[in-house]
Structure 1
Amino acid sequence: LVDQPLMRNVLADLAVEAEAATLAALRLAGAVDRATRGDAEEEQLRRLGLAVTKYWVCKRAPAHAAEALECLGGNGYVEDSGLPRLYRESPLPSIWEGSGNVAALDVLRAMARQPQAVEAFFAEVELGAGADRRLDAAVAGLRKDLAGLGDPDAAAYGARRLVERLALVLQGSLLVRHGNPAVADAFCASRLDGDRGLAFGTLPAGVDTAAIIARSGPDAVSAA
């Protein structure tokens, strides 16, 4: 199946999602370590970046697990594969550790009470400035919309949408700086430029699926 064009689209899309989430997790783990040692700037990034990323990864995980299970068919459905357990447990972080609404409103709270956290967040994101026009446009649009936030009820109503955009620009910036070029390009095209559908496996034409899939294949895992 891996040689079929549509399956390659699905696998590449899943790999892009996983790499973006992993990079964000590693960057924030570093921020937590440095904040613990007294780095004030990293503490501000940790405050906002962690809440933003928690919301988005928790929302994406169940769909990601379901699509991965589907790729393996019956072999993925049986308990021996391990995927059913991952699928069952994937919703738990946003149930036990705070719902999506709680996480999104926590971001708004942090932005209102700690403006320096917003500055630290954009300082991190803008380290990727100039690397990809789609990222630059997404960051500029986000800054403009943040400047226009006014009515608290309206801000709360759109909190999930706002936090999603914050998460995507953070992941995009990390990918263009530290990720594989093929993965970064696919991410910016699909997540930031909007050239994709609503399900996994809807990456646009021109994405280097072969390079993306190769990074997640058995040979790459063994080498790592």
Structure 2
Amino acid sequence: KLIDKPLMRNVLADLAIESEAATTLALRLAAAYDDGGERERALLRLAVPAAKYWVTKRCAPVAVEAAECLGGNGYVEESGLPRLVRESPLNSIWEGAGNVQALDVLRALAREPLAMDAYLTEVGLARGADHRLDAAIRGLLTELADLEAAEGRARRLVERLALVLQGSLLVRYAPPEVADAFCASRLGGDGGAAFGTLPPTLDLASVVKRARPVA
């Protein structure tokens, strides 16, 4: 089967990691909204625009890669995927495009100190569990220490905020093979710009198995 071929398994595992990271982040923010406490509201103030920026940016390439995995079957309308591909850029345009979300994060950092404190407390819960996550947190702290003229690097900063938060959540809640693959490729630099470039030493078969629909 094609799904059992090493190269296809790498692509599918990469897509599965992206999907699980986005889903876990959304569920954490939903829990914060349901809680409604002051610290959770502060976390939302920073994490919601960061999450909207990053997850919607990743939506279109995920949809296109998923269609490519199905080949011609993913291109014909009967599969349903062409509609998803067409709609995938929508959320990054509606209700605030990428730059709007990035600037909103900068406003939160500048005007609401509790938001940064709540974010750092949240990601700090996973500290010590993965050396790549720890290094990413240290790098993020360096960037956050100097917000002068931050607008020109706002997208870079918001991307890092989202990735570090996703990584911390996966380390805490996902199976080790999923967290390991995410931290290696998204935080540790051991992955390429395209999907399907995960390090072959990872347990990709387990990642794909976890993502397969239950029959």
Q: Shorter-chain TM-score category?
A: over 0.9
Partner of residue 197 from structure 1, selected from 192, 201, 205: 192
Name the SS of the counterpart of 1:207 in structure 2: coil
How many angstroms apart in 1 are the aligned matches of 2:98 and 2:56?
A: 8
How many angstroms apart in 2 are the aligned matches of 1:168 and 1:195?
A: 14
Matched with 2:51 is 53
Matched with 2:183 is 188
Identify unmatched segments of 5+ residues in structure 1. Answer: none
Q: Deviations over 1:161-216 (max 9, x none)?
A: 00000000000000000011101000000000011111000001211110000011
How many angstroms apart in 1 are the aligned matches of 2:140 and 2:200?
A: 26
How many angstroms apart in 2 are the aligned matches of 1:31 and 1:172?
A: 18
How many angstroms apart in 2 are the aligned matches of 1:96 and 1:175?
A: 28
Q: Which amino acid aligns with 1:139?
A: I
TM-score of the two chains, using structure 2 as the length reference: 0.97
How many angstroms apart in 1 are the aligned matches of 2:113 and 2:197?
A: 37
Matches within 5 A, 1:169-188: 169-188=164-183
Matched with 2:158 is 163
Q: Deviations over 1:2-39 (max 9, x none)?
A: 1211111100000000000000000000111112xxx1
Partner of residue 43 from structure 1, selected from 41, 44, 58: 41
Identify unmatched segments of 5+ residues in structure 2. Answer: none
How many angstroms apart in 1 are the aligned matches of 2:41 and 2:120?
A: 14
Matched with 1:31 is 32
Q: Which amino acid aligns with 1:201?
A: G
TM-score of the two chains, using structure 1 as the length reference: 0.94
Q: Deviations over 1:121-153 (max 9, x none)?
A: 0100010011101000100110012102223xx
Aligned residues: 214
Runs of 4+ off more than 3 Å: none
Task: Kindly state the Cα deviation for residue 120 of structure 1 after the two structures are TM-superposed.
Answer: 0.2
Q: Which amino acid aligns with 1:111?
A: L
**Is 1:144 aligned with 2:142?**
yes
Matched with 2:115 is 117
Partner of residue 91 from structure 1, selected from 89, 92, 108: 89
- Computed over aligned residues only, the root mean square deviation of the Cα atoms, in angstroms, reads 0.8
Q: Quick check: 17-26 or 92-101, which moved more?
A: 92-101
How many angstroms apart in 2 are the aligned matches of 1:110 and 1:86?
A: 32
How many angstroms apart in 1 are the aligned matches of 2:192 and 2:10?
A: 12
**Is 1:131 aligned with 2:132?**
no
Matched with 2:16 is 15
Matches within 5 A, 1:202-213: 202-213=197-208
How many angstroms apart in 2 are the aligned matches of 1:108 and 1:149?
A: 8
